[in-house]
Amino acid sequence: MAPTRRELLEAGWKVGGGLLVVAAGWTTWEALRPLGPGEGGGLFVLADPDSYPEASATWVREGRFFVTRAQGELFALSQRCPHLGCTVPFCDASGAFECPCHGTIFNVAGEWVRGPSPRGMDRHPLRIEDGRVVVNTAVVEQGPPLGTREHDTPIRDARCNGEAGD
Ligand code: FES
């Protein structure tokens, strides 16, 4: 017996829902998966320096890094957490990087604030060339040691990871 219209619709919803779950899972995995040390290496020619406002973090997805500005200075910060390699997103509400895996917090300059990371966020060389920001992700410089707070940028109480502020 041929399936009824209702059965066809139900089957369609199940297939569509299943595809949505797979797509959401893949997107989440791609955004949060740990990166290998050399992944995403290359030269990135970006926007002019004025495009990066104070205390902002701009994600460069293709290079897996952020361009940030802290107290006037520009940084290229690897999105790979120095602890165990999780992708560290920037939280606009707190003005800080918050690792979703074990809760390390870094300020907008990538300096360690608290949590299990052994150092601040690793950096890539950044230079200004012909009025553009140029970042070389083939080179990874270890982040600043624990306790380094050369850029005392404000971190607000609101957290993206659900924890209470300091
Ligand atoms: S991987 Fe970031 S705190 Fe553990």
Q: Is the pTM of this model over 0.85?
A: no
Instruction: For residue 49, give every residue at least 6 positions away whose Cβ sits within 8 Å of its Cβ, in sequence order, or none.
Output: 74, 128, 131, 133
Between the CA of 72 and the centroid of ligand 1 the distance, in Å, is 27
* Number of Cβ within a 10 Å radius of residue 23: 10
Those residues of the chain that have pLDDT short of 50 are 36-38
CATH number of 43-136: 2.102.10.10
Pocket test for ligand 1, best of 32, 78, 87, 99 (most atoms within 8 A of CB): 99
Best substitution site from 77, 81, 87, 90 to test ligand 1's pocket, by max atoms within 8 Å of Cβ?
81
Give me the phi and psi of 135, to 5 degrees please: -125, 135
Sheet holding 65-70, edge to edge: 57-60, 65-70, 73-78, 123-124
Q: What is the pLDDT of residue 28?
A: 59
Residues having CB closer than 6 A to ligand 1 are: 81, 83-84, 86, 99, 101-102, 104, 115-117
Distance of alpha carbon 13 from its chain centroid, rounded?
A: 34
State residue 27's pLDDT score.
55
